[in-house]
Amino acid sequence: MKRIVQLLVVMMMCLALCSCQIKKEQKDDIYIFFTSDVHCGVDENLTLASLKALVDDTKAEHPYVTLVDCGDYLQGGALGTLSKGSLAVELMNEMNYDIVTIGNHEFDYGMDELTKRLDELNARIVVSNAVYSGQKGNSLKKSEEYIIMDYDGTKVGFIGILTPTTITSSTPAFFIEDGEYVYDFYGGEDGEREAKHLQEIVDELRKQKVDYVIALSHSGTNIEERPYDAVSVISKTRGIDVFLDGHSHSLITEDYYPNADGEDVLLSSVGTKLQEAGELILGKDKTISVVHFEEYDRQDEVILKAVEKANGELNEILSQEICTIDNDISITDEEGIRMVRARETGAGDFSADALRYEMGTDIAIVNGGGVRATIPAGVVTYQSLLNVMPFQNILGSCLATGQQIMDALEFGAKQTEYIYKLDGNPVGEFGGFFQVSGLKYTVDTSIESSVMLDDNNMFAGFENDNRRVKDVLVLRDGEYVPIDPKAYYSVAASNYALFRSGDGNTIFSECERIIEEGPVDVLGLIDFCQSEAFIPENYMKPDGRITIE
């Protein structure tokens, strides 16, 4: 019995010793928490309050904890749009982010606002592939090419990668001074120029004896992002250990891709609006691993109060007066029957004009299902406009032929009927019916729609040459002239309508993209209302752009 007790004591001592050794190793590990594409979703999914609690609880047990972000934090919700990102920055400062890179949507409010926001941000900013050559002030002047963090002798180098497509996916005019581009994000058709520049920075970090190189990347992993996507950059460089990526809203916990030397590089991405947060662990034993979190069982009270305060400030902004109107700008008729999905309306004209103004295109189209509310007579507030376009879709623009535009109008009119109401209910509604700006057209309902759909209700062509849509005119120099089927026109709409085959309309999906990801749609409404171009009287009744016969 005595021997058994002695053995048990020895075993317990060994277990305690092993436990201490494991705990010490874990204690010396480096924990890098990362977010991306939060897009103002501060109290969605995981929530900022839960993330802060998770980070602080980790800091209570481990000395080496860092919080980073991979871009697109200033835009994506009313919190950002209506405060031009200032409320988002306040919350990031409360979170005590250590390092961030920037995303293409950080530019949505213009360079002056971006300069202010980055000046207000307490975190260090790393952007490795941006050069400014202008004279009017570099909005990225606060950013650093690389950042080295020293964790008691273990050195970690951070680089920041902003996709070169930012020039076109944001608003190109923002990057121009006196007719010349003054911002360079190392674009190029094959991606080699960007890769070569990043390699120079990684080589410099290695000369400084860093133990790890971490990329905070806003590159994306979609095929459409090539040759600037994360996997392409990994394949063309060497010396980067981990790619923490954003931009495409992908959910990737831990994938590996070979670099230029055939060595595996870890790639991780956490989606959008705090679907997940990541924890990169750099072990003292030289291991590298990633864990993703969808939830945490505690919330930080300081952040909860900060979010509550930000939402209170947002409510004050929402109630601010933009202008006044004498009559409703409506989506209904005088009986209150919804018309916007089957007929031209004042609210539809207003929304389309606002998008054309914001994006500077020849034409704008708005799917009727995206125009959700009438603007009541009286004081127009931010909330009034948010009610009109509550989904906050991203705007885009493309080049389309006159024929493609006519095909899209034909698709949109496939359910239109000669009457639009019966017994107090709408008739012939379709969410993909287009309200337009810069266009006029007629729908002949005596002709049966020839639109064909596939098994998923997506556009699949036309059954015959019979067309309901006719007499399509385009605005040129103040006059409406017949559209040229072979000519190209710039078209603005939401990404949903243009590039994501919204309502099943695939016609624009392959068009050449001018701006892939512009501002949020409601920002277009706000800017238009605050401009001299907005004349409320023009929208008290339909303008005669769409004729139904």
**Tens digit of each residue's pLDDT (9 = 90 or more) over 212-266:** 999 999 999 988 788 999 999 999 999 999 999 999 999 999 999 999 999 999 9
- Provide the pLDDT for residue 4: 38
- DSSP alpha helices (H): ranges in 290-345? 301-318
Residue ranges, comma separated, of all CATH 3.90.780.10 domains in the chain are 322-548
Q: How much is the average pLDDT of 370-377?
A: 95
What's the gap between Cα 536 and its chain centre?
31
Q: How much is the average pLDDT of 520-530?
A: 94
- Provide the pLDDT for residue 17: 39
% of the chain beyond a pLDDT of 70: 95
- Provide the pLDDT for residue 18: 40
Inter-CA distances, 346 with 142, 330, 350, Å: 45, 6, 6
Residue ranges, comma separated, of all CATH 3.60.21.10 domains in the chain are 24-314
Confidence of residue 19 (pLDDT cuts 50, 70, 90): very low
429/434 Cα distance (integer angstroms): 11
- Provide the pLDDT for residue 171: 73
- Provide the pLDDT for residue 26: 57
Q: How much is the average pLDDT of 149-169?
A: 92
Higher-pLDDT residue of 291, 425: 291
Over 50: is that where the pLDDT of 14 sits?
Answer: no
Beta-bridge partners for 264 = 258
% of the chain beyond a pLDDT of 90: 83
pLDDT one-digit tens code per residue, 425-460: 899 999 999 999 999 999 999 999 999 998 778 899
Count of CA atoms in the C-beta half-sphere (13 A) of 12? 6
Q: Is 176 helix (H, G, I), strand (E, B) or coil?
A: strand
38/77 Cα distance (integer angstroms): 10
Q: How much is the average pLDDT of 9-24?
A: 40
- Provide the pLDDT for residue 172: 76
Going 411 to 415 to 416 to 420, the CA torsion angle's sign is: negative
Going 394 to 379 to 540 to 476, the CA torsion angle's sign is: negative
Q: Which CATH number fits domain 322-548: 3.90.780.10, 3.40.710.10, 3.40.190.10, 3.30.70.141?
A: 3.90.780.10
492/509 Cα distance (integer angstroms): 13
156/214 Cα distance (integer angstroms): 7
Over 60: is that where the pLDDT of 10 sits?
Answer: no
Domain 24-314 grouped into CATH 2.60.120.10: no
pLDDT one-digit tens code per residue, 292-336: 999 999 999 999 999 999 999 999 999 999 999 999 999 999 999
